[in-house]
Amino acid sequence: MPMNDNMANVINDYSEINARVAELRSAMSGQLSDRNRIIDHLLDFRLDSDSPGFISTIDELLSEVPGLTVVENTWWSGALDKLEMATAPSNV
């Protein structure tokens, strides 16, 4: 598996990303999620990928994260939808 500049494993298998997205989606409860935790998850995805299109999607999401301390889960769910769409074979 290729390595990025931080010597972490780079994800080339987008089924792993989709599994992580599903895990994050199932962990959602209530109406709100911690904003910093969401940003951390997005940054983790960014560090683990080498796909310019996927990284671009993450950068877009990072620039749009609403709120000061919490984010509505409707936004987070939509962001996870965008991540899944970005891993579709036509977008990779």
**pLDDT per position as a tens digit, 1-43:** 344 444 344 455 678 899 999 999 999 999 999 999 999 999 9
Mapped onto helix, strand or coil, the DSSP state of residue 51 is coil
What the block records as the tokens of 19 is 């599994």
Mapped onto helix, strand or coil, the DSSP state of residue 21 is helix
**pLDDT per position as a tens digit, 67-80:** 999 999 999 999 99
Q: In terms of Cα–Cα distance, which of 24, 19, 29 is closest to 39?
A: 24
d(CA 9, CA 80): 21
